[in-house]
Amino acid sequence: MFPATLWTLLSLVPLLTHSSASSAPPLACDSRSHPDDCFALSHVYNALYFAENNASLPWTNNSHVCDRKYVTCDEQHYVIILDLHNLGLAGIIPSQISSLHALKSLFLYANEISGIIPTEICEMQTLNDLIISENLLNGPVPVNLGNLTNLTYLGFSYNKLTGTLPESLGNLQQLRTLKGDYNQLQGTIPSAIGTMKSLVYFVLSYNQLVGPIPAEIGELSNLFDVELHNNYLTSIPAEISKLQHLSSLSLGFNALSGIIPTSMGKMSSLVGLFLENNQFSGSIPESLYQLKALKQLELDHNMLSGVLPEMLSWMNLETLHVNNNRLEGVVPNGFGKNMTTSMVSLFLNNNNFVGPIPLSFEKYACQLENQSQSIQCFMGMNNFTMNDCVENPCAAQRCGMKCGQYII
């Protein structure tokens, strides 16, 4: 058995290996390199290493910074791009990286970098792109991140970031893409987002955000994709209907309640509407029928009641999920008659639907077996009778109808 002191020394070997890099002498540059760039890259060289073998970046001592791999310079030989993505790097982001005064793009994503986002990064006001996603970063989003007013792309997804979103994000009026999903962010979405007029992609799903979606989101007229699912958000503002260019609205797996806002019917560009796994009640609003571009409608796992509107069958949907609600009545005649082969996923299961099944739907179900693509159809766990199954064998078999104790 090893003495306790020897175990202690052995446990420190990895730490000593990594800390020796951070205390190593600066990596020198040739005389043509700009001193601040040389200073910053020297600290990057000492702070990051290949996790697999602890090796340093392949940069040669006394070389010109612009000749180094992963570095791009402009005509004045200033570093403008540092691209270290997907290299299997570990270590931390050194605060001295802020000395890259001309840097436009910093790509550190898809590595194993840990530690916090240094606040000094907020001094890099020339940055257009900051992508540090898919790492092991923790701690808060820097409160002064809004100082980076030239940013067009900000990505910090798939980390372990905590705390709240800073109000200063509202200063990023050139930002087109904000992706911060798969973190542990808390608090509310700041109303200051209403000033981010250039925003196109707004992605903060899989966090712990709470409270209402701020009404100011309606001011972001360029939004194309909003992904806020898997949080604890509580309400949708009527102002969301002002987003006339929005193609996808994903709000599933939240704590949204009340009725589905009728104003959503004004979002004429909407292709995907995802409101599943919430606490919506009331009926499916007729205003949704106005969404002529809609292809995917997911309303499952709510508390919706009333009948299944026949107009849904006229909308040329590819996906319709209304399962696990409290819908009742018969399946309308239009279902089957008006649905085209574009419908690839129809979930009507776990409601209170009753027969008779319309003949048009039985004909539709009989055609499913001959389709070249796999089409999902589920109608189980409703109130169909044994006679409904006997008279509609295709619907019973292809769509999983369960009628009393009788299953085909």
- CA-CA distance, 364 to 366, in Å (whole number)? 5
- Predicted pLDDT at 403: 76
- Predicted pLDDT at 83: 98
- CA-CA distance, 238 to 261, in Å (whole number)? 7
Domains and CATH numbers, the chain: 15-114 (3.80.10.10), 300-408 (3.80.10.10)
Sign, Cα dihedral of 332, 336, 341, 346:
positive
List all residues 6 or more positions away from 188 whose beta carbon is below 8 Å from its beta carbon: 164, 209, 210, 211, 212, 214
- Predicted pLDDT at 226: 98
- CA-CA distance, 294 to 268, in Å (whole number)? 8
- List the beta bridge partners of residue 138: 160
Distances in Å between the alpha carbon of 346 and those of 235, 368, 375? 27, 12, 8
Using alpha carbons only, what angle is made at residue 46 by residues 116 and 70, rounded to the nearest 5 degrees? 90
What are the 10-residue block averages of pLDDT along the chain, 408 residues in total?
41 42 77 96 98 96 97 97 98 98 98 98 98 98 97 98 97 98 98 97 98 97 98 96 97 97 94 98 94 96 96 91 97 81 89 94 85 82 92 92 62
- Predicted pLDDT at 333: 86
- CA-CA distance, 201 to 26, in Å (whole number)? 40
* DSSP per residue, 71-133: EEE-TT--EEEEE-TTS-EEEE--GGGGG-TT--EEE--SSEEES---GGGGG-TT-SEEE--
- CA-CA distance, 249 to 78, in Å (whole number)? 41
- CA-CA distance, 141 to 167, in Å (whole number)? 11
Q: Would you call 363 helix, strand, or coil by DSSP?
A: helix
Distances in Å between the alpha carbon of 72 and those of 65, 103, 152, 398? 9, 9, 19, 58
Q: Answer yes or no: are the C-beta atoms of 40 and 97 closer than 8 Å.
A: yes
Going by their DSSP bridges, the two strands 71-73 and 112-114 should be labelled as unpaired
List all residues 6 or more positions away from 35 whose beta carbon is below 8 Å from its beta carbon: none
Q: Answer yes or no: are the C-beta atoms of 245 and 221 closer than 8 Å.
A: yes
How many Cα atoms occupy the beta-carbon half-sphere of 364 within 13 Å?
25
- CA-CA distance, 219 to 222, in Å (whole number)? 9
The helix-helix angle for 13-22 and 35-47 (nearest 10°) equals 180
